[in-house]
Amino acid sequence: MGRFGKLDEIDRKIMSIIYKNPQITQMKLAERVGLTQAAISTRLGRLREMGMISKGCMIINPSNLGLELMSIDAYTEHVDVVVEKFKHCPCVVSLFGFTDESNRVEMIMVGEDKQLEYCITKHIRRASNITSIVARRITNLQKSIGIVTHETLMGDYGGEDEEERRSSQYDLPCGDSPCSRCEYYIDNGGTCYGCPFTAFYRGKFWKDEDG
């Protein structure tokens, strides 16, 4: 029996609630399911061990946040290099490298219109190892997707104090020019709607559905 077969009806109800509201507290979840908070904590721990949910992942429907989805095919002779460059980008929710005759990297990106346009223009089209790209807007999302949370991403790159982490992020995870040399950041008067990794970002990417 596979791991999916080990889920009972309560597990499925818990996952359904988290799927719709990833920010729900254990107390509220316990009330919804009709269990004690201790029992919910035990079940959540088991679901994480099974790989059903992730502590560092927020499951969202981008349209609920005013965000868009784009599919990007980036053609390159250096697939591994391009994958390494963009694997930490918070806007990239899916990343595949193909070393067959197509030599391409396929990305699914999420963000605001102007944010995605700028990311494609500045970070993808200008990448020295990418020869051409094909960008397509995804208009019909059949299920929600998972993105890393702000806290998880900042924790991977910053110091111990969150405010210190936020104020120290001048360099982008893709390795491109820091914010101080970014014409997009400068043109917007110091307000950034580009990479949500930086401390200067002012867009909607990290906000939950109630934010």
Q: pLDDT at residue 2 above 50?
A: no
More confident residue, 12 or 205: 12
Question: 3-class DSSP state for residue 139?
Answer: coil
Is this model's pTM higher than 0.75 or not?
Answer: no
- The answer to whether domain 3-53 and domain 62-138 are alike in fold is no
* Candidate from 39-53, 80-94, 196-210 with smallest mean pLDDT: 196-210
Span 91-104, pLDDT tens digits: 888 899 998 888 99
Provide the token pair at 59.
């499951």
Span 58-97, pLDDT tens digits: 556 676 667 788 999 999 999 999 999 998 887 888 899 9
What distances in angstroms separate CA 185 from CA 91, 116, 124, 165, 206, one per listed residue?
17, 14, 17, 19, 19
Q: pLDDT at residue 49 above 50?
A: yes
Question: Residue range 128-150: average pLDDT?
Answer: 80
Span 151-185, pLDDT tens digits: 455 555 444 444 444 444 566 778 887 777 777 77
- Domain edges within the chain: 3-53, 62-138
The pLDDT value recorded for residue 209 is 38
pLDDT bucket at 32, cuts 50 / 70 / 90: very high
Question: Residue range 35-55: average pLDDT?
Answer: 82
Q: pLDDT at residue 144 above 60?
A: yes
| Phi-psi group of 68: left, alpha or beta (phi > 0 → left; psi -120 to 50 → alpha; rest → beta) | beta
**Topology of the domain comprising 62-138:** Alpha-Beta Plaits (3.30.70)
Instruction: Provide the CATH number for the domain formed by 3-53 in this structure.
Output: 1.10.10.10
Percent of the chain surpassing pLDDT 90: 25
The Cα 129–Cα 8 span in angstroms is 48
